Structure 1
């Protein structure tokens, strides 16, 4: 009996000691978890489970260490264990997180069932209301893929995490990267990645990143910097940074290092300086991901400050005329939910793009848009659908709406959660491109009918040719490629050729390319000009051929003899003196006299025509009633010789 009692005591001691040790480990893990050191907490929890100790809380937090790093497949493993082994100890939020994880692994029907369980337990939440209102549309959202945009990874070759793009001027992109920390080799406890720095890169013709380098000056520190937004003049930047000052991290009362929004100014040497913390920050919450409205009078951001509906909401402050800031204002329940809303971006048309896992999406964070003016196609929160959204995290969306070109962040191409974050170029899929225009006389503006218009590719090869219509218009279409360089070349008779290079845009568009052609000094049908004839003048009121005119007519006679196929039309004109009817008769006599001169010299009559135009085509200002010299009037008394086709 005594021996049996001893054995029981020993066994009890053996069992209690490891259990007490595991409780201490769990307490330590919980402390680390609450400090957002998810990687360290995960290792402790995994060791506890490996030693045979399990509980609902351990499974919950193990799943969370993966969930909050966007590692949804591993998160699902632990959430499912929680529901399998402890079905009566599952807080409603874990049905929601499980549903999100199921979507992120492509299990949409299972996700709908899980969201149904969450909604039945949390019917009064915005998340549940969104589910009840929108989840019938999930199937169509999953099946729909927009043919409007294509998505391309521009940081695929970089290691670690790259995200949060922002436009900087017309040809640069600034983004956050853990691919190379400029201030040291520290790693972040949350994700295990190196701390983030802000980099800038040039955009090439294909909107790919080239020549990346860290922002110079006082912006980057040994800790996090991310999510920048620039004023249009490029002289001011707002950005996210850890609560960091004088070389030290500053922690709140829970020993957490929050995020804050800072401002910096471009210095004379081109670096960034005068970094200052914005006054609406506080040490008890995080404020991050700033973006300016197009008029730069409002700064939007995401935060979990007091008054936040969910894990993080979209807020804004007004930027006042004196440079101070209005109070933070929450955008309300139409946009914000009990989950995460972050990464706002506002366009020229006042459309707000943001990321959320509280509105109906494909999984993880999805990108949504709503008009802040309550107009147009986006009066309600609208999912941007595939291919912009995926079943992973999609966030940090920016776009130039007029060009339909932008960037976003996503971890869609990897299985390591936030480690797989990359930046993706978004642009409109090539649709119907048309190049069209009008060909005109560069001196008179007159449209040129039957001008030849050729389209050359970048190698100078003619890919198409057409003729202009009555209005001088031409059109090339149907076969053109997007973002390709072409040359439009026009020619017309003996006009000087002209050409213009164009680069076609993305998407569907019409590129208007008008060309003016310079006429020759001598019109091709003006024989007198071509033979450099001196004017053939007539005496006032007379129609006989003067001896000086015969010298010039002899030149035309020689051309008619040398080119038997040549036919000419003789136009004769008068000055404005005398009546119009008299001048018309006089010019006709001059025209006939000129034609008869050629006939007498042996030129067949069928090669000649003649007509008088009176004073209807004056060459100068000497019209009826205008005082002019005799020389000025004489310029209008002439004959012209036009080559007939």
Structure 2
């Protein structure tokens, strides 16, 4: 009995020591994890798991460790174990698990898991995007094969990424070991920090003769993703929070990223480094890119006001080199996930990487173009082969040569991240397209009109698309662009034709047709028959205004319906001004009206035009005694039927 008791005590002590050791390892693993030292954390967690101490927390942290190191296949394995063992799963892990599953080509399961994320977070921007883009794979396939790509032979077996054009060379970041000096190890991935390198670009897009870019800019910590001013004399780049041999951390001691600026001095050396004023020890600011005019800097950050893990921001650069207040680009671009590595081309196209917008998996490259008012519109996935089921990012392109580079950790590369050369063979179409529905109804009864001809026209009437209404009085035009068609012409026998401008802000419009109730005879005013609104001109002007063009479009439709119809255009003024100037003004307006109808396809032999000035007023009055409404009666256009 005593022997058994002693054996029991010994066994208890052994087990206690073993548990204590495992707890120490767990604490050490958690410490590494909390400090973003993911590679060491993975090693510790793997040891703990092999000793028979798996848990949902360890699976979650192993999944995160692999996820944030870009090893999505391993992340999928451990996220799967976590989901299987957990009674409740945080929605964010459904999202990461789904992304990771795509790297294993298991799209069916990825879709199922993403469905759970959407169900858990229905009002999140990512869920809204996913629900509104359920056919995103079709959109990706449509944009695919616009580029050719090839792996750069100068990639190392470490990380190579963060490229930028500099004159006729390429500057990029690399953690390759040159063996020239001691380098710090990045706890994130247990590899050396990156430095900036510069290389010559060959005709085939390959690079050669890579050397360190600048000892002034490179430190023993992290440098990446530079961008240069148009004249090449100023550089902005990402670096660790390390300046003047001093490294700073946030409240928990973690070192964040900052953007620094440097300029060439008179000796063509990079001068004093300065950090940008919106940097902070408490959040990261990284991956700068400059607008064509150099007056706007775009960057990625998790600063206050961010929607997700990192967002794209912009900030104004003033002529004296100072900066405005950073502005978040908003939910058209940013999500609750990661948006990072922005690049804006000279054509105003913003490329960036995101894992929050529906894509192929990991980070995908997306593009959006700035409109005339300075806003970014529709966001498009650039498709394969740029994007894969892995992390694809840091897209840059020369708008003239259509050559560029991007980075990826996909399989088949040489290191953890690799640089790829790209050539754009088909540009992305940024024209907004959507389905447009038109209902045609009877003006009096509001009943649907079937078999009405509906014709869309562009502003020059050189392009058109037509169809007939169905049993519901409806016609649907698929994937139209608001910029492509500007007016609609609707015709139906027994009804007056309608010609009007259309607004694509709404996907659906209703058009009401009036039945033909009047007979016409020579001398009738076609304008009254068509119930035209006043044909307006600006004061003392004869140029056709947009609203006048809308009314004259009805005359065009009527004359196209009756090819024997001929009209005499008569323009009248009120009695203000001299009779001579009024006569000249009315003549110009009459001729301008006729020229407009001719421009819309009405032949000149069917038209005559004359100005009558103030000679045929409806109300006989003296100018200073007439009110505006009386002047309005006299100031008119007539379309008299002469055949």
- How many Å separate the matches in 1 of 2:262 and 2:397? 24
Task: Give runs of aligned pairs for residues 395-474 of structure 1, distance below 5 A.
Answer: 395-414=393-412, 419-429=415-425
Q: CA deviation at 1:106?
A: 1.6
User: Contact (CA 8 Å) 1:261, 1:288: kept in 2 or not?
Assistant: yes
Structure 2 residue 204 is the aligned partner of structure 1 residue 175: no
Instruction: Name the SS for the 2:419 alignment partner.
Output: strand
User: Contact (CA 8 Å) 1:178, 1:197: kept in 2 or not?
Assistant: yes
Q: CA deviation at 1:260?
A: 0.4
Q: CA deviation at 1:64?
A: 1.0
- How many Å separate the matches in 2 of 1:87 and 1:141? 35
User: Contact (CA 8 Å) 2:141, 2:383: kept in 1 or not?
Assistant: no
User: Which residue pairs with 1:21 in the alignment?
Assistant: 21
User: Which residue pairs with 1:278 in the alignment?
Assistant: 276
User: Which residue pairs with 2:68 in the alignment?
Assistant: 68
After superposition, the C-alpha distances for 1:195-228 in whole angstroms (9 at most, x for unaligned) are 1111111112222212221113410111111000
Structure 1 residues 415 and 128, CA gap change in structure 2 (3 angstroms): farther
User: Which residue pairs with 1:187 in the alignment?
Assistant: 185
User: Contact (CA 8 Å) 2:175, 2:194: kept in 1 or not?
Assistant: yes
User: Which residue pairs with 1:135 in the alignment?
Assistant: 134
User: Which residue pairs with 1:353 in the alignment?
Assistant: 351
User: Which residue pairs with 2:216 in the alignment?
Assistant: 218
User: Which residue pairs with 2:360 in the alignment?
Assistant: 362
- How many Å separate the matches in 2 of 1:83 and 1:95? 8
Structure 1 residues 430 and 25, CA gap change in structure 2 (3 angstroms): closer
Q: Any unmatched runs of 5+ in structure 2? A: 428-643
Structure 2 residue 262 is the aligned partner of structure 1 residue 264: yes
User: Which residue pairs with 2:295 in the alignment?
Assistant: 297
Q: In terms of Rg, which structure is larger? A: 1
- How many Å separate the matches in 2 of 1:216 and 1:376? 36
User: Which residue pairs with 1:207 in the alignment?
Assistant: 205
Structure 1 residues 253 and 367, CA gap change in structure 2 (3 angstroms): same
After superposition, the C-alpha distances for 1:600-644 in whole angstroms (9 at most, x for unaligned) are xxxxxxxxxxxxxxxxxxxxxxxxxxxxxxxxxxxxxxxxxxxxx
Task: Give runs of aligned pairs for residues 531-546 of structure 1, distance below 5 A.
Answer: none
User: Which residue pairs with 2:517 in the alignment?
Assistant: none
User: Contact (CA 8 Å) 1:164, 1:226: kept in 2 or not?
Assistant: yes
Q: CA deviation at 1:352?
A: 0.9
Structure 1 residues 8 and 158, CA gap change in structure 2 (3 angstroms): closer
After superposition, the C-alpha distances for 1:118-148 in whole angstroms (9 at most, x for unaligned) are 111122222222222223333x356557333
Instruction: Name the SS for the 2:93 alignment partner.
Output: helix
Structure 1 residues 156 and 360, CA gap change in structure 2 (3 angstroms): farther
Instruction: Name the SS for the 2:191 alignment partner.
Output: coil
Q: CA deviation at 1:384?
A: 0.2
Task: Give runs of aligned pairs for residues 74-153 of structure 1, distance below 5 A.
Answer: 74-84=74-84, 86-138=85-137, 140=138, 146-153=144-151
User: Contact (CA 8 Å) 2:145, 2:383: kept in 1 or not?
Assistant: no
User: Which residue pairs with 1:387 in the alignment?
Assistant: 385
Structure 1 residues 142 and 8, CA gap change in structure 2 (3 angstroms): farther
- How many Å separate the matches in 2 of 1:290 and 1:123? 33
Match for 2:228 among 211, 222, 230? 230
Structure 1 residues 353 and 374, CA gap change in structure 2 (3 angstroms): farther
User: Which residue pairs with 2:58 in the alignment?
Assistant: 58
Instruction: Name the SS for the 1:296 alignment partner.
Output: coil
After superposition, the C-alpha distances for 1:314-335 in whole angstroms (9 at most, x for unaligned) are 0111111221111111111111
After superposition, the C-alpha distances for 1:267-310 in whole angstroms (9 at most, x for unaligned) are 33333221111111010011100011111111111011111111
- How many Å separate the matches in 2 of 1:54 and 1:190? 23
Instruction: Name the SS for the 2:186 alignment partner.
Output: coil
User: Contact (CA 8 Å) 2:151, 2:413: kept in 1 or not?
Assistant: no
Q: Any unmatched runs of 5+ in structure 1? A: 432-645
- How many Å separate the matches in 1 of 2:116 and 2:78? 18
Match for 1:333 among 314, 331, 336? 331
Q: CA deviation at 1:152?
A: 1.1
Structure 1 residues 378 and 317, CA gap change in structure 2 (3 angstroms): closer
Structure 1 residues 60 and 415, CA gap change in structure 2 (3 angstroms): farther
Q: CA deviation at 1:66?
A: 0.8
User: Contact (CA 8 Å) 1:155, 1:423: kept in 2 or not?
Assistant: no
TM-score, normalised relative to structure 2 = 0.63
CA RMSD, Structure 1 to Structure 2 (Å): 2.4
- How many Å separate the matches in 1 of 2:2 and 2:411? 66
Q: CA deviation at 1:376?
A: 12
Q: Which moved more, 1:376-385 or 1:404-413?
A: 376-385
- How many Å separate the matches in 2 of 1:378 and 1:236? 27
User: Contact (CA 8 Å) 2:140, 2:382: kept in 1 or not?
Assistant: no
User: Contact (CA 8 Å) 2:158, 2:417: kept in 1 or not?
Assistant: yes
- How many Å separate the matches in 1 of 2:46 and 2:336? 29
User: Which residue pairs with 2:40 in the alignment?
Assistant: 40
User: Which residue pairs with 1:513 in the alignment?
Assistant: none
User: Contact (CA 8 Å) 2:56, 2:81: kept in 1 or not?
Assistant: no
Structure 1 residues 165 and 321, CA gap change in structure 2 (3 angstroms): same
- How many Å separate the matches in 2 of 1:155 and 1:135? 38
Structure 1 residues 3 and 123, CA gap change in structure 2 (3 angstroms): farther
